[in-house]
Amino acid sequence: MQRIDPAVLAYSPDGTPYAPAYDDVYHGRAGGVAQARAVFLAGNDLPQRWRGRPSFVVLETGFGLGLNFLATWEAWRADPARPQRLHFVSLEKHPFRAQDLARLHAAWPELASLAAQLRAQWPPLVPGPQRLHFELGAVTLTLFFGDAPTLLPQLPLRADALYLDGFAPARNAALWSPEFLAAAAGKLRSGASVATWCAAGAVRRALQAAGFTVARRPGHAGKREMLTGIYGAAAPDRAPDRAPDRAPGLPRHALILGAGLAGTAMAQRLAERGWSSTVIDQAPHVAAGASGNLAGAFRPLFSRDDNRLARLSRAAYCYALPRWRELQHHGLKMETCGVLQLALDESELARWHTLLADFPADYLQPAVVGYRVPQGGWLDPASLCCAQLGACGEAVQLRLDTRVETLRRDGEAWLALDAQGCEIARAPQVILANAHDAARLAPALPLRSVRGQLSYLPAAALPEFHEVRAREGYVIPAFDDCCVAGASYDFGDDDPAPSVVAHEQNLRRAAAIFPGWQAQLDPRALTGRVAFRAMTPDRLPIAGALPGPHAGAPGALAHWPRQEGLHALTGYGSRGIVWCALLAELLACQMTGEPLPLEQDLVDAVDPARFAARARKQAQSRA
């Protein structure tokens, strides 16, 4: 894992914020906000260029103090002809800590309200993507923490404006190299604009070589020149190209099959974009499957090699926490009491403590017996489902006790049919968010149903504790005089009734979590709940458009044909609580052509087409 080293709060002799590692200032003496307005907004002809647009995307190469974002957000707010949605995507290798940002932002009281909102959501400084929403979702900031030249090729987006910012080429040459600027150009739409305070001849020539028509303008605050430009060969009378709409001119309406964590999160992410949805479930109530467990723990994972599962878990956990805080206003029951993960042995403990040195203390902390997740905890999954639906308002219609037997394409719409072939509902888009039952409607999905049993233990029978404790299983602190313990993984067992054997397993796991505690509980007298998880062969979830037949070579997953308007959100296994919000956001962005909240390799890692691509590749290697 690439360690994130925070920026050091320092100032030059004249009081300008200064980076000792680069021996350079963050902005000119005239002030960062004035520079943002004069160079990056005016240089990109904003707000004029975004007026009348449904959405607008800005790509920035160095977040720094966040002043360019705050000034752009301020301009968006002040413009009555602003785009409906503003995406601001920025790269930063050395982000500031929140407390340092507070000191820095104090110099610009005119941005105090916006800056406070930014800091209120400021994420832990861990590598990878961090997506923050403002203005009820109309303004989205996606931060990628890490090395910009490494991250930039992985960004799945097409931007309308490029803010080329960063320390001077002599101090940070990698961000001004011809290779980096060519990679940045590859993330732009034809007709996109660029602006930078840097007027160096080498930068101007590299921009021209990357496909920009570049012009010199008078610089800001005494600086002789700056550079602006337009990317591509778009003629002045030709509008810049747009991201393709999967359903141009069609109603922004979707059928979502499944009223659990996946389906209700999807409804909420679409509702925030002005979509309506019909959520259909064959059960008589919301959260009837694994989403109906009494409680579930949430925490990120980490691994020695920082594999895809760990990276996805980290991004999903960081994305979910601020979303859940908002959903508490809609009835979500949750406690961020912390999670204590216990090591299995001294060897694992030593390995963990070595790895934990790369994480900030507000994300993971070493403990004598393992490690602690200070913002981890537990929540009531059913209340999360109801809160996500509640946040949709009138944008969602709920159809319960309704089984969809088949799906059929009819022109530009999908029909959901019952066992008699009668129409239940129709929409241009369908999302299969019904766990392992999705494989019944899309047999190509390699889903496996795995039984999981929770045991409800009387709180008085356990030692007193106040944070979630986990080892090979977990135990959740008492609420309503009950502690939830679990969960079993029972492969090949389809019995929906709680079993004594699984209760015994959960008691053994609980005993390992509380050393010296002897469970004086009769497993035959315990109550609990059984649910069935949907799992994939690679233990990663499924999120994206379902693949169609592919006659040629496998190639990139991005080029694999898709079944128009048919998507899946499933395969969450035992991690649905953490994954549901981010994967729904990912799919919503794919459906609307917005910048994605993950790096491309993680998007590919959860792509439903990955299984067909692997099978074709294996078949070709055998031929």
Same domain, 196 and 272: no
User: Average pLDDT, stretch 497-517?
Assistant: 93
Dist. CA 362–CA 371, nearest whole Å: 12
Q: Look up residue 288 and give its DSSP letter.
A: -
Q: Is the peptide bond before 127 cis (omega within 30 degrees of 0)?
A: no
- Taking alpha carbons only, the member of 198, 205, 236, 252 closest to residue 220 is 198
One domain, residues 318 and 194: no
CA 291/CA 280 separation, integer angstroms:
15
pLDDT tens-place string over residues 171-207: 999 999 999 999 999 999 999 999 999 999 999 999 9
Does the CA dihedral 115-84-157-608 come out positive or negative?
Answer: positive
- Provide CB contacts within 8 A for 357, sequence distance 6+: none
* Residue 245, pLDDT above cutoff 50: no
Q: What is the pLDDT of residue 551?
A: 58
* Residue 555 is assigned to a structural domain of this protein: yes
Q: Which of 91, 388, 408 lies closest to 269, judged by CA? A: 388
Q: For the chain, how far is it from start to end, CA to CA, in angstroms?
A: 38
- The answer to whether 303 and 310 have CB atoms below 8 angstroms apart is yes
Q: What is the CATH number of the domain that holds 394?
A: 3.50.50.60
**Longest Cα–Cα distance in the chain:** 82
Percent helix, strand, coil in the chain, to 5, is 35, 25, 40
What confidence score (pLDDT) does residue 149 get? 96
Per-residue H/E/C for 6-42: CCCCCECCCCCEEECCCCEECCCCCCHHHHHHHHHHH
pLDDT for residue 238: 35
Q: What CATH number corresponds to the domain at position 196?
A: 3.40.50.150
Do 259 and 212 fall within a single domain?
A: no
Tell me the C-alpha distance between 512 and 362, whole Å: 27
Domain count, the chain: 2
Between residues 498 and 615, the one the model is more confident about? 498
Residue 247, pLDDT score = 44
pLDDT digits (tens, 9 = 90+) for 194-244: 999 999 999 999 999 999 999 999 998 778 899 999 999 643 433 333 334
The helix/strand/coil state of 75 is helix
Is 369 inside any structural domain?
Answer: no
For residues 226 and 257, membership in a common domain is answered with no
Residue 345, domain member (yes or no): no
The whole-number pLDDT of residue 320 equals 98
Residue 248 has what pLDDT?
52
* SS3 assignment, position 409: strand
Pair 179, 267 in one domain:
no
Q: Are residues 225 and 257 in the same domain?
A: no
For residues 278 and 222, membership in a common domain is answered with no
Cβ-contact 509, 550 below 8 angstroms: no
- Whether residue 135 sits in one domain with residue 34: yes
* Residue 35 domain boundaries: 18-231
Last residue of a domain, one of 179, 196, 231: 231
What confidence score (pLDDT) does residue 555 get? 66
Let me know whether 267 and 314 are in one domain: yes
> Do 80 and 222 belong to one domain?
yes
Residues 129 and 168 in one domain: yes
Do 177 and 299 lie in one domain? The reply is no
Question: Is 620 among the domain residues?
Answer: yes
